[in-house]
Structure 1
Amino acid sequence: MEIVEFGSDDSGLVARFVDVSNAVRRHDAPWQHLQTVHAATGMLRHGWDGEPAVPFLATHGGDDVAAGEWHVGNYDNLHIAWLTVDVHPAFRRRGHGTELLEALVDRTRSAGRTSVGGDGWDNELSRSFAARHGFEQKAVEVNRRQLLAEVDPALVDRLHAEAAAVAASYELVRCPARTPDDQLPVMAEMVSAINDAPIDDLDIEDEVFNAERVRAYEEAHAGRGITLHRLVARHRETGELAGQTVIGVDRERPHLGNQHDTSVVRAHRGHRLGLLLKTGMLQWLREVEPQIEEIDTWNAESNNFMIDVNEMLGYRIVGRALAFQKSLA
């Protein structure tokens, strides 16, 4: 089997990579929207916040049999590499996934990292592959989807009013997609609240957010053609940023929205800011992105508070993923 590393500018290999990924989605997770060459190119060029994964395509006998990604971050968690191994359904159980995984693990060792992580859908194939290669299940993430045609605007408005009555000391601020330079430090401090989200048994450290990373996140999404809508809760008396929620809308497929972080700073919890932010975002999107038909979100299965808010707003489970990790030390 030949494993080829490539870049985002190699349109032919990107298209073949997407074909393998979509074959896997159709087979393993038919509820997922298919990848597009445009979206894959943007992600491979810009990543989530300026640190894109390294992509690989595995071929055997003239066939594209697997696709992989190797991703490391340099802001934090310098001990770990995150791996993706997708084997085309037509070429499984022939050792291709094992060979690709071993190549990615070798690359991780060469980079001086001491841990590898990855995820897979909650099925026997993922669990058995992980166990066979010494990975342990460390967390469960759940994908939920909100169909906006089924969400009653009157319900959203009522829930928003109820939350606003409890959170009278706070105001909602609709932020520009690009944060002004002088506001980046306080934005980074507020964004760090996401570190309180459950990580279950994963061996990972808190993420480090600074002004540079906030800007990199914004620029990466702009480069990918994604409009960011960031709604912030601000304490009226002190001006402190108390929490946020962010939705990304891909201009290639503007009927689809993706939920990014929703978090509330610890010192400001207990005022129903999570519900205030989520309902406030739906009201905002109703005005500026009326074409959105659905929004996807992910939560740790143990994040009961955010799950309660999401289900109140009509989010329903579409998929369940398992996170695995293995020490190389």
Structure 2
Amino acid sequence: MRIERWDSGDTATAMACYEVFLAAHAADEPIEPPNSAGTFCTFLAKGHQRMPAEVWTAAPAAGSAVAGFYQLGLPDLENKDRAWVLPYVHPAARRRGTGRELVRHAAARAAGHGRSFLDGVTLAGSAGDAFARAMGATLAIEEVRRVQDLRKIAPGLIGSLRETAARAAAGYSLVTWTGPVPDEYLGQVADVYNAFGDAPRGEGHEASAWDADRIRERAGVLLQAGYLRGYAVAAIADATGEMAALTEIAIDPEHPEWAFQQLTAVTRAHRGHRLGLLVKSAMLEWLASAEPRVERVATGNAASNEHMIAVNEALGYEVVEPGYRHCELAVTGVR
């Protein structure tokens, strides 16, 4: 097995990795569409939120086709004892030891960077899930996946929910924007992102600490690159001008029938006013005119996140299988 580091200027190898990703997605993912080539290659090159990362490819021998690859994300602001690993193996190359060699290699690289744990995510019940268990990974947190089928929603329901939420949210006004966060809201958006730190997460995982500079430099990388269209709705407290809640949606133009929920959060001081329901229902009314081809909205929540789950269920989201399993593996325990 030949494992080599990918050079970000090597577009041919990037597209070979994309073909592996597409094949794995077709075999493992029964619901959502795959990332577009531009989205995939940008993520490969720039990492999650511009986190330092490296990509390694595997081939049976020199000069042969890429059979698998992994991206190793190296958190540099929090969770510096951890590395994120995202391995993919072409279905035709599975059960030949490729995945195991990739994860062993990733564990060695992570250890070389001073990391103690590998974090990853799998689809529950998938080949990747079984593989992670066989490698010794343990469950950190379970994430339930939900999809809102807009074609099933009764006429008038979203408007009625928004009116109900607006009555509970007297004293708040809504603002909207498209694309990356405008400069005038950078600091306030950072405060709302920090509120997301209350969401359930795996034991030993640190919440991200955001400020205006981090929002500008690391949030919305794919929006900045032009590969996704982004929409945001925020609630502002009229008395203070403070941003109290925010919801964000992203759409890949190559799959305009799908919208993907990004962050939704309400700051602690403003909870209890139905602001989560307000911003999410307002978002749906906006998308109906701005993105009329959208048929489904996908989201995921930790199974223990009761408040957001209640909001999503009121909006017509339904559980779909498989969900996601966030797992971790001690680098010294890789088998």
List per-residue Cα deviations over 1:206-232 (Å, max 9, x = no partner).
Answer: 111111221121354221422221111
Q: Distance between the aligned counterparts of 1:127 and 1:325, measured in 2? A: 12
Give the 3 Å change call, closer, same or farther, for CA 164–41 of structure 1 in structure 2: same
1:258 aligns with 2:224: no
Secondary structure of the structure 2 residue equivalent to 1:103: helix
Residue 159 of structure 1 aligns to which amino acid in structure 2? L
- Kept after mapping to 1: 8 A contact 2:47/2:73: no
Residue 19 of structure 2 aligns to which amino acid in structure 1? D
Q: TM-score, normalised by structure 2?
A: 0.90
Q: Distance between the aligned counterparts of 2:307 and 2:32, measured in 1? A: 25
Q: Distance between the aligned counterparts of 1:314 and 1:47, measured in 2? A: 33
Q: Where does residue 203 of structure 2 map in the other structure?
A: 202
Give the 3 Å change call, closer, same or farther, for CA 323–311 of structure 1 in structure 2: same
Q: Distance between the aligned counterparts of 2:111 and 2:135, measured in 1? A: 16
Give the 3 Å change call, closer, same or farther, for CA 48–284 of structure 1 in structure 2: farther
Deviates further, 167-176 or 123-132: 123-132
Secondary structure of the structure 1 residue equivalent to 2:200: coil
Deviates further, 122-131 or 16-25: 122-131
Secondary structure of the structure 2 residue equivalent to 1:317: strand
Q: Where does residue 249 of structure 2 map in the other structure?
A: 247
- Kept after mapping to 2: 8 A contact 1:16/1:64: yes
Give the 3 Å change call, closer, same or farther, for CA 253–203 of structure 1 in structure 2: same
Q: Distance between the aligned counterparts of 1:224 and 1:52, measured in 2? A: 21
Deviation at 1:234, TM superposition (A): 1.0
Q: Where does residue 326 of structure 1 map in the other structure?
A: 329
Structure 2: runs of 5 or more not aligned: none
Residue 212 of structure 1 aligns to which amino acid in structure 2? D
Deviation at 1:176, TM superposition (A): 4.8
Give the alignment of 1:1-329 within 5 angstroms.
1-51=1-51, 53-61=53-61, 62-123=64-125, 125-199=127-201, 201-216=202-217, 217-318=219-320, 319-328=322-331
Give the 3 Å change call, closer, same or farther, for CA 3–153 of structure 1 in structure 2: farther
- Kept after mapping to 2: 8 A contact 1:48/1:220: no
Residue 323 of structure 1 aligns to which amino acid in structure 2? H
Q: Distance between the aligned counterparts of 1:131 and 1:309, measured in 2? A: 33
List per-residue Cα deviations over 1:5-24 (Å, max 9, x = no partner).
Answer: 22444221122111111221
Deviation at 1:238, TM superposition (A): 1.5
- Kept after mapping to 2: 8 A contact 1:225/1:252: no
Secondary structure of the structure 1 residue equivalent to 2:50: coil
Q: TM-score, normalised by structure 1?
A: 0.92
- Kept after mapping to 2: 8 A contact 1:48/1:221: no
- Kept after mapping to 2: 8 A contact 1:171/1:235: yes
Residue 216 of structure 2 aligns to which amino acid in structure 1? R
Q: Distance between the aligned counterparts of 2:282 and 2:113, measured in 1? A: 44
Question: What RMSD in Å do the two structures reach over aligned CA positions?
Answer: 2.1
Q: Distance between the aligned counterparts of 1:53 and 1:317, measured in 2? A: 33
- Kept after mapping to 2: 8 A contact 1:202/1:325: no
- List, as ranges, runs of 4+ consecutive aligned residues in structure 1 with deviation greater than 6 Å: none
Residue 110 of structure 2 aligns to which amino acid in structure 1? T
Q: Distance between the aligned counterparts of 1:243 and 1:42, measured in 2? A: 29
Q: Distance between the aligned counterparts of 2:262 and 2:130, measured in 1? A: 30
Secondary structure of the structure 1 residue equivalent to 2:255: coil
- Kept after mapping to 1: 8 A contact 2:137/2:329: yes
- Kept after mapping to 1: 8 A contact 2:36/2:254: no
Deviation at 1:139, TM superposition (A): 0.8
Q: Distance between the aligned counterparts of 1:175 and 1:91, measured in 2? A: 45
Give the 3 Å change call, closer, same or farther, for CA 3–157 of structure 1 in structure 2: same
Deviates further, 124-133 or 300-309: 124-133
- Kept after mapping to 2: 8 A contact 1:72/1:82: yes
Residue 322 of structure 1 aligns to which amino acid in structure 2? R
Give the 3 Å change call, closer, same or farther, for CA 15–77 of structure 1 in structure 2: same
Give the 3 Å change call, closer, same or farther, for CA 233–32 of structure 1 in structure 2: same
Q: Distance between the aligned counterparts of 1:288 and 1:103, measured in 2? A: 45
- Kept after mapping to 1: 8 A contact 2:59/2:68: yes
Q: Distance between the aligned counterparts of 1:320 and 1:99, measured in 2? A: 26
Q: Distance between the aligned counterparts of 2:150 and 2:198, measured in 1? A: 28
Deviates further, 43-52 or 95-104: 43-52
List per-residue Cα deviations over 1:66-111 (Å, max 9, x = no partner).
Answer: 2211112222211110101222222222211110001111110111
Secondary structure of the structure 2 residue equivalent to 1:49: helix
